[in-house]
Structure 1
């Protein structure tokens, strides 16, 4: 189905030629002469990045064409930018309300955030999309994306590559930088070609293709922090909606961004959306060079399923049905390790009846599932059939009001409702645990973006557990028609329709507030009682004394584990209230331990009261370390830290870092960081992203002393020593730390203590 090439490749006449001995012979036979250096400038990626870059070719300084945020992130971003001197939005900024749409948690606070956003759009000149109108990425596809553009979003699934837009999902700090006129600074990324050939077989949808690619590249890191550039004649065999569905899921590969070759179908899409002027043909130049290649034969992809608890845990539905007992047992073992709560375990094998696997719930929603073509496919499959009146239920969320309106006009909604499907409005809740939470022990299949632990809304710490598998809308619809018996589309149903779509822009014109470029500085921001300013953050002291208060040994730690989604999302405009949820589902003792360390630091800064015995003991140990005996309290800030093998997979939300920071965190320690965006969030909130080679050198409760931490940071020292002061023992161990690649700006942000402090200075 997919093949990963070990070498780089050149692009010529629509085909890829490997950068190896055989490829060199082929290039010679063609009478051509290619070079890597020149070829790197022939990619679509280079053409777009260079057009937005004010730095050099290797160190990019990017300014985006527009930005977008939703109601979990925009308050914090605007608050950060306000504190950093912003007076108006210098670029189009879309604020959608698709995450905290429901007001079931916390009383008025979700709607208070929406009112704040509308007042901010008026004051600073922005675009406000009311609740239920559109999910964040659907609005941007319909109204903002265009060929050759770049869009920055505070949501990890910010991907509009199929429309010729290079989009990047980052934490809020990076958006705040754009709002105060700064740039997005990154090294020039490697670019990997994704060559699509063939035509998908009957019943195969975009999620099947996406999951197959994710399974092939996630665990080996083949595209980590790289750009995926889609080429190949197979693109022309895919409707644009289908392409969008693949593209948005590239986030789960840990790539930086994505971009696709464009064609007349993209032109037609933009024309339908009354933006034909945003079209231009994008394609690689002959001789373009890629740092790797993924070959995808669309004709060989089968309907697939990603089992709990990761989008890369992929099987074909056929092999799952043929080997259900073994695969479910393996899934249970791996999933229960991921949950990590004693006495709580999923049991999927109990869903087997007569050799068939039965599921309890189906969801088609959000930026990946709720598109027009996906819903119409489900409608045609379910027409004249029934989802049944038993446990199984199916809910469908069209991704925007214009899509919903068209589905009403063409009869798609009637087909779904006639089969017993519940049709709802545009909402991202099923993607992150804020809607359609299953009953305890239930198993849900969803065409959404993620299936991490608790993304469906359960709370293992309170004795609840449920689980989600990812599937395509087509197979979900067939499963629904079979009363919840897991089934693959294409076995019994034929879906080859390409229904016409008519976009009614007036739906947005009548409700979306757009004052881009027309700020009204006299407008007062409307603050609900839950919207709070960021607390003060201390700058980095010369030396650092940190305690490991949480030690996580999972292979990968997601941002959902660092700060859970679901009900916690309602408190994201209140830094201290949200911080109470930090690591609550992975390490419930974290908050209390972090607060205890913060009390020590506050006492140090105030120099009030007697020195705690624990600190006296630590300073006594420091006197035995050569060169550290004269360390004074005012020279050594005290902070908490977490260790995780590979933290930061998943969401871009900055709160995964900021919540640690407001609780007094000074550092993270890791073997590596799962994503650039999480590491950037740490930096923007003044948390040192330390790298270690030997995690066994310390444990929970141990203190680490980092002498000269500030000096090493600012003098760009590659590696430097730190000392482990063992908990309840006299042992002192020396370890080596590093901070990895940092720009000069990032180093100063860390020294100043956070992005807000940096701008104040």
Structure 2
């Protein structure tokens, strides 16, 4: 059976169920991540399991959200997270070390692997060919205990990219275009998989911008193939051994297909009060601006900023 990338990764991790869309499945989880706003509860739940160590290939505890030290609460949480990591075999990323999704993409993402994170933007690592899913704290605790993750087999939406981004058009415009078509409810129960000749012109940080903001579609996750671009990125990170190729089969199909011509795409902007209220920048040019903040949850790479 010819398969797309999503189906291949799920098939390689399938514990129970079939690849029929909508059916109940359980998949093995290779890696987990938490951040300090959600991690404390997840780790308390893991402690209740009574296990001596985590049973994943890799688990990481990031401190990057609750950074203000105006009271004792955040400091207490951070001390607990650090001591938990040391006791149970979890990597600990200290305050100031970086945003969890960006650091995980750079240091730990593995093409063809599965990642479960207690943050909605965990799909960032899909930019490196990983099936990365945001979930609740209890799901993370159970995954760290070696139990599979239960979900309904998602439909797979193929987003075909043709052409090449023009000057002043960015990866953010691609995901805004998808949101314009599909809305914030259009991804529920679905995985968005990007394919086509335009993919080869996107760097891994650009791909990660797109997979990260796929969360705004309500999608289970988003994923890119792992190709020569992915290999160069991992090599630049000193992680050649982490690379493997994950591309769709020649005869693979999708439940839906959305085609975007990158040559025709122009700068877009999401207007109040929803990420899918997307308009062309030139249509809102001249709008008075009272305040500007530069930052990004949707990928904190230099490229995206």
Name the TM-score class by shorter chain.
over 0.9
Aligned to 1:229: 193
Aligned to 2:134: 169
Any idea what SS the aligned residue of 1:373 has? coil
CA distance in 2, matches of 1:179, 1:101: 25
Q: State whether structure 2 residue 302 is matched by structure 1 residue 368.
A: no
Q: State whether structure 2 residue 72 is matched by structure 1 residue 85.
A: no
Correspondence for 2:242 among 278, 281, 304: 278
1:605-684 equivalences in 2 (<5 Å): none
Q: State whether structure 2 residue 9 is matched by structure 1 residue 44.
A: no
Cα distance per residue 1:452-485 (max 9 Å; x no partner): xxxxxxxxxxxxxxxxxxxxxxxxxxxxxxxxxx
Q: State whether structure 2 residue 109 is matched by structure 1 residue 155.
A: no
Any idea what SS the aligned residue of 1:228 has? strand
Judged with a 3 Å threshold, the aligned counterparts in structure 2 of structure 1 residues 366 and 95 are, in CA distance, closer, same or farther, namely farther
Structure 1: state its 5+ residue gaps. Answer: 1-37, 322-355, 376-761
Q: State whether structure 2 residue 259 is matched by structure 1 residue 295.
A: yes
In the TM superposition, what is the alpha-carbon distance from 1:85 to its structure 2 partner?
Answer: 2.6
Q: State whether structure 2 residue 215 is matched by structure 1 residue 212.
A: no
Aligned to 2:96: 132
CA distance in 1, matches of 2:231, 2:145: 34
CA distance in 2, matches of 1:230, 1:364: 28
In the TM superposition, what is the alpha-carbon distance from 1:151 to its structure 2 partner?
Answer: 0.5
Cα distance per residue 1:271-324 (max 9 Å; x no partner): 011111111222111221211111111122221111122111111111123xxx
Any idea what SS the aligned residue of 1:290 has? coil
Q: State whether structure 2 residue 46 is matched by structure 1 residue 116.
A: no
Q: State whether structure 2 residue 152 is matched by structure 1 residue 187.
A: yes
Instruction: Tell me if structure 1 keeps the 8 A contact 2:36–2:62.
Output: yes
Cα distance per residue 1:600-621 (max 9 Å; x no partner): xxxxxxxxxxxxxxxxxxxxxx
1:323-334 equivalences in 2 (<5 Å): none
Aligned to 1:102: 68
Instruction: Tell me if structure 1 keeps the 8 A contact 2:68–2:74.
Output: yes
Instruction: Tell me if structure 1 keeps the 8 A contact 2:270–2:278.
Output: yes
Judged with a 3 Å threshold, the aligned counterparts in structure 2 of structure 1 residues 146 and 369 are, in CA distance, closer, same or farther, namely closer
In the TM superposition, what is the alpha-carbon distance from 1:181 to its structure 2 partner?
Answer: 2.7
Q: CA RMSD, aligned part only?
A: 1.5
Any idea what SS the aligned residue of 1:195 has? strand
Structure 2: state its 5+ residue gaps. Answer: none
Aligned to 1:143: 107
Any idea what SS the aligned residue of 1:361 has? coil
Correspondence for 2:232 among 262, 268, 272: 268
Aligned to 2:221: 257
Instruction: Tell me if structure 2 keeps the 8 A contact 1:88–1:125.
Output: yes
Structure 1 length normalisation: TM-score?
0.38
In the TM superposition, what is the alpha-carbon distance from 1:229 to its structure 2 partner?
Answer: 1.1
Instruction: Tell me if structure 2 keeps the 8 A contact 1:364–1:370.
Output: no
CA distance in 1, matches of 2:211, 2:291: 26
How many residue pairs match? The answer is 299
Correspondence for 1:68 among 9, 33, 49: 33
In the TM superposition, what is the alpha-carbon distance from 1:223 to its structure 2 partner?
Answer: 2.9
1:744-759 equivalences in 2 (<5 Å): none
In the TM superposition, what is the alpha-carbon distance from 1:156 to its structure 2 partner?
Answer: 0.4
Instruction: Tell me if structure 1 keeps the 8 A contact 2:35–2:61.
Output: yes
Cα distance per residue 1:550-587 (max 9 Å; x no partner): xxxxxxxxxxxxxxxxxxxxxxxxxxxxxxxxxxxxxx
Cα distance per residue 1:677-714 (max 9 Å; x no partner): xxxxxxxxxxxxxxxxxxxxxxxxxxxxxxxxxxxxxx
In the TM superposition, what is the alpha-carbon distance from 1:367 to its structure 2 partner?
Answer: 4.4
CA distance in 1, matches of 2:205, 2:145: 35
Instruction: Tell me if structure 2 keeps the 8 A contact 1:193–1:228.
Output: yes
CA distance in 2, matches of 1:357, 1:80: 48
1:395-410 equivalences in 2 (<5 Å): none
CA distance in 2, matches of 1:156, 1:125: 24
In the TM superposition, what is the alpha-carbon distance from 1:372 to its structure 2 partner?
Answer: 2.0
Instruction: Tell me if structure 2 keeps the 8 A contact 1:153–1:175.
Output: yes
Cα distance per residue 1:244-290 (max 9 Å; x no partner): 11121111111111221222221111001111111122211122121
Aligned to 1:533: none
Cα distance per residue 1:116-146 (max 9 Å; x no partner): 1110011111111011111010111011111
Runs of 4+ in 1 over 4 A off after TM superposition: none
- Which has the higher Rg, Structure 1 or Structure 2? 1
Cα distance per residue 1:724-747 (max 9 Å; x no partner): xxxxxxxxxxxxxxxxxxxxxxxx
1:339-358 equivalences in 2 (<5 Å): 356-358=286-288
CA distance in 1, matches of 2:230, 2:297: 18
Structure 2 length normalisation: TM-score?
0.93
Q: State whether structure 2 residue 247 is matched by structure 1 residue 247.
A: no
CA distance in 2, matches of 1:78, 1:293: 40
